[in-house]
Structure 1
Amino acid sequence: MKFVKKTHMIFAIVILFGVTNQLNSEPMTYYTMLTNHEETRLGEYLYYGMADTIFGSIRTNNFLPIGGNAIYGRLIASQELIFEGEDYEFENVIEHAPPYYFPEQFDHLRQRAVVHIPSRNRRNRTNMTWIKFRGHQGIDVYQYPNGTPRSDSLYSYISASNDVIIFVDGEVEVEGIVVGRVTLYSSGNMYLINNIQYYGSNHVNGWFEHERFPHFLGLVSDRNIIIEDNNRNGKENGWAGNGERGPSRHSININGSLIALGGSFTFEHQNDDRDLYRGSTPDERGYVNLKGSVAQSRRGYLHRDNNGGTGYRMKYNTDPR
C-alpha cells in the first residue's frame, strides 16, 4: 500500500501542524501514530498490532514495541523495534532515527486563535466548557460549573467557516459533526463525549473517501485527550454480543488529528484496583474508529486486562491529505 505525504492538511490552521526543525521534515499530522515516550504511566509497553489494525506510518522516540502484523505503513523508531513473541518482518523500517521534537505547547496557536474561551468566571470559579459541532448550523459553546451535571447554558455561538482556531483556557468536552477547517486547542484535558466526525462521513464507523474531501479538524491539548466513559461511548460493556445493541451504545468515531502535547490519548475509568469507580465485568466498549492521526507525549492506554477486559480496540486509518 502506498502512502503519500500529507500536503493539503498543511492549511491555514496548520501553522499548528507545521512545527518542524532540521530533524523533522514532516508535521505531526503526517504520522498515523506519533509518540514521544512509549512507556505508559505504569511503566508498561503496549505492543502495536496485537489486537488492532493500523493503516499508516508509526513513529516513536523510543523503542517501537510490535506484537502483531496488522500494521500497514512505515515504522520509524529512535531506538529499535522490539517484539512480543514472533519476530515479524516489515518492508519499510527505519531504526535509530533522530528523535521527533515535541513542544510543551503551541504558543503561536494561542496567539492566532480567533476565539478565546476562559474557564474562570467573575467569581473565580472554574467552569467546564462543552463544545458541540452542529455541521452547517455552526458550533455551540456551553459552560457550566465544573463537577456539576452537564448543562446546556449557551456561552457563545460560532458560525461554520474555514480556518477557525478556538482556544479554551481550561478543560473542554467535545462532540458533533464538523464542517470546514477547525482547530480546537485546550490548556487542560480534552474529553471526547461522543463521536466527533466530519459532515458526510459514514455515521457507523466515521469512514470517508479523502480525495477532494473538504473538512479538517485538529484537536490539541496541553494535557490529555480522554474518551469519556458514558453510554454512547460503550459504558458498562456496551460491546456485549459483539455490538448487537447498535452503534449508539458502543465505540467512538473520530475524524481529525489529535495531539496530546503533555499527556496521552486514553480513556476514562480503566477499572484499576485503586479507582473509586469500578465498572462491569467485562467492560468492553467497542472500537476507536479513527481516520486521521494521534500524536501523544506518552503512550496512553486504550485497552486494559482489568475486569476481564476494559476499553477499546483500535481501527486506525491514515488521512493522507
Structure 2
Amino acid sequence: MSNLILVTGASGKIGQEVVKQLATQGAQVRAFVHSPQNAAAIQGLDVEITLGDLGQPETIKAALIGAEKLFLLSPLDPRLAEWEPNIIRAAQQAGVRHLVYLSGTNAQVDSPLLFNRLHGQSEVQLKNSGLAYTILRPDALMQNMLAHAPTIVAQSACYAPFPEGKMSLVDCRDVAAVAVASLTARGHEGMEYDITGPEALSMIQVAEKLSAGLGKSVRCVELKLDQYRTGLKAARMPAWLIDYLVGVAQYSATLKDNVITTVVAKVAHKLPITFDQFVRDHASAFMGAAV
C-alpha cells in the first residue's frame, strides 16, 4: 500500500487547510470533493482531486483504493448519521491503517444537540471498528466570526444571543495543523484531542478585539432568542440547522469555566493563533473586501 492520504471535505474551511498543509510537506494526497466548483478551492496544489458524494458509498470505496490513511470530515448535515458509519465500514474493508476523525466539541451519544449526538455516535463506532484512529474535537472556529463581516462593515456591529457566553475559539489553520501532525507523525493512534485556541472569549470581548484590530469601534448587540431564530430563518437556513444553532447558543450561555487546552502546542509544535492575529489576517474582510 502507498502512503496515500485521502481527505474528505477537502474544500471546506478545515479540509482545504489540511490539504494545503499536507501538500506543503510533500505528502501524497487525494482530495475528495463534491463538485468541480468545490475543487476550485484547492486547484493549483500538487494533489489528486477526486469527485464523489458522501451519500454514494461506491464513490467512497473508489476514493479509498490505495489509501493508507483517511482524514474523515463531514459537513454539518443530518445525513452524516448514515454517511459516517458507511465511510468507517468502507475504511475497514479497504484496509486503511489509520483514520483521523474530525468530531466536535462535547460530542456525546446522549447530547440534546443534533451534531454533538451524531459525532458521539460516530466516535463510538470508530472506537469499536478495530481501526487505528485519532479523534479531533475542535471548539468553535475563529473563521465563523467572518459571518459577522457584513454587519461590521455596514453598521459597525455584530449581533449575537447571550453575548456574555464564552467560546474557546480556535483558528482552522491550527485545527488543520493538529490533523496533519496526527496523520504524518507517529504516536497519535488511539488519542483523542480537544482543540482550543489560547483564550476563551465572549462576543463582547470579540467585539472589543475587532475594534482594537480594525481601528474602528465595533459594538456587540444582544439578540433575544426569538430575534436570533428569526434572523436565521431570514437567511433561509433549514429548520434542523436553525434548531441546532439556537441550541448551541443556549448551551454556550451556560458555560462558566471554558477549558483551554495545549493540544496545538503539544501536537502541532506551534503556538496557537490568537484572535488578535486572526483579526489582522482577515482585516480586509471585516473592513469591506470580499470574504
**TM-score normalised by structure 1 residue count:** 0.25
More helix by share: 2
More strand by share: 1
**TM-score normalised by structure 2 residue count:** 0.26
